[in-house]
Amino acid sequence: MLILRKIYTFLIDGIETLLIAAAIFLVIYAFICRPFKVTGQSMYPNFHDGEYVLTNLIGFENLGVYRASFGTLKLGDVVVFEAPPATGNKDKDYIKRVIGIPGDRVMIKNAMVYLNGKPLDESKYLKPDVKTYEGAFSKDGLEVTVPENEYYVLGDNRGESSDSREWGFVPKSYIVGGSMFVYWPMDRVRSVQNPY
């Protein structure tokens, strides 16, 4: 009888531990941070295909709305977001760099990015020979103003990236979180810093 009681106590303790661990995981996953797998070459060389990035949800309310009390997205932040409707790929999440915030004027001209009328210095995260060409949305020499509650985003690998040049602005409500840490593979573990 004593043995059965010990087995019963052990099983109950084990189940309680698993339930507590599952609850903690769910809270972290839903409200604090979430893993994201980089798929493709759109952010190369700063992010590689197959890397896993921890996405910070702190500062984001439900449905991806950014909380002003925790600050706002800034130029250079790397964000994960749900695919905007214009991409035609509603089941995919994207990772891109914020180039324009609400009120900014963005223009692609002569294979360069202009922000508020001045060439954007991207030397901290792009090689000097990287060219940024027009897309279906951002025509060469056409300046666009980022609307309220939307963002203009670009991939770091401009020749391989489907981004705001093609499908326009990303609504704030589509943003899942900000990238904060690459945790896999182990030989490429690093924090994600805003270059500005």
Catalytic residue positions?
A: 42, 96
Burial class (CB in 10 A: 0-12, 13-18, 19+), 12: exposed
Measured distance CA(81)–CA(86) in Å, rounded: 14
Residues 111/131, Cβ–Cβ less than 8 Å: yes
Whole-angstrom CA distances from 9 to 3, 17, 23, 48, 129 are 10, 12, 21, 48, 66
- Strands 105-109 and 93-100, by their bridges, are unpaired
* 51-68: burial string, b at 16+ Cβ within 10 Å, e else: bbbbbbbeebeeebebee
Residues 105/121, Cβ–Cβ less than 8 Å: no
